[in-house]
Amino acid sequence: MITASSSGFDIERPSLALHDDDLVRLLAEVSYGSREAQRQLYEYFHRRVYRLLIRMVGRDDAEDLLQQVFLQVFRKLNQFQGQSRFETWLYRLSVNESLQHLRKQRSRRSVSLESDIMDRKLDQVRDFDQKELMEYALTRLEPELRSLFLLREVEKQSYAEIAVVLQIPEGTVASRLGRARQLLKQYLVELGWEQ
């Protein structure tokens, strides 16, 4: 049985390993409508998805979007054909839901998050600790670059896996990752980041 603590959303990966055979069995049970299997799948993967969503859409929307992602997983599981790892497919759904959410949000707002935050006095921004600076700098990246950076640097996905998730060539992954790193460094310097 797969279990996870309900004490919150940890940043670390779960210590339990889900072996390929167990995952195949679990996915089969989910596809047959087993509520218990759905719960187990959610318990095993939700922290990783939530961590990605927080950085993609922010803490306020991440929890609602997490539920939406898993509803999509349960609805679209028959579309997973095993050509990539399940986790890669799950990240693709998560990124797609995030990007769709951000597009809807952008069309509803007349003032962007970036301009709201940039209106703060520079000395207030300098009071952020290093982690907060990085989180803020990430929000300034365009969503596609942010998702690519997070998949590589936080989720430790390979270039090949990221290419599958984002449906772009591996070479494009490398060039966009370089661009994301360059922009992040620029944003961090602008925010007064001290190395």
pLDDT in the model for residue 9: 31
Q: How far apart are CA 2 and CA 37, in angstroms?
A: 9
What DSSP designation does 80 have? -
Q: Is 129 left (phi over 0), alpha (psi -120 to 50) or beta?
A: beta
Reply yes or no on whether the pLDDT at 115 is more than 60: no
Task: Return the exposure string of 80-102: e unless at least 16 CB atoms fall within 10 Å of the residue's CB, then b.
Answer: beeebebbbbbbbbbbbbbbebb
pLDDT in the model for residue 194: 67
Reply yes or no on whether the pLDDT at 69 is more than 70: yes
Considering the entire predicted model, what is its pTM? 0.68
Reply yes or no on whether the pLDDT at 168 is more than 50: yes
pLDDT in the model for residue 40: 95
Summarize pLDDT for 17-58 with one digit per residue, the tens.
577 888 999 999 999 999 999 999 999 999 999 999 998 998
The average confidence (pLDDT) of the chain is: 81
The residue among 22, 39, 99, 25 whose CA lies nearest residue 73 is: 39
In order of their start, the domains of the chain are 9-108 (1.10.1740.10), 111-195 (1.10.10.10)
Reply yes or no on whether the pLDDT at 12 is more than 90: no
Q: How confident is the model at residue 131 (pLDDT cuts 50, 70, 90)?
A: confident
Summarize pLDDT for 134-154 with one digit per residue, the tens.
888 888 899 999 999 999 998
pLDDT in the model for residue 175: 95
Question: In 10 A of CB 185, how many CB atoms?
Answer: 13
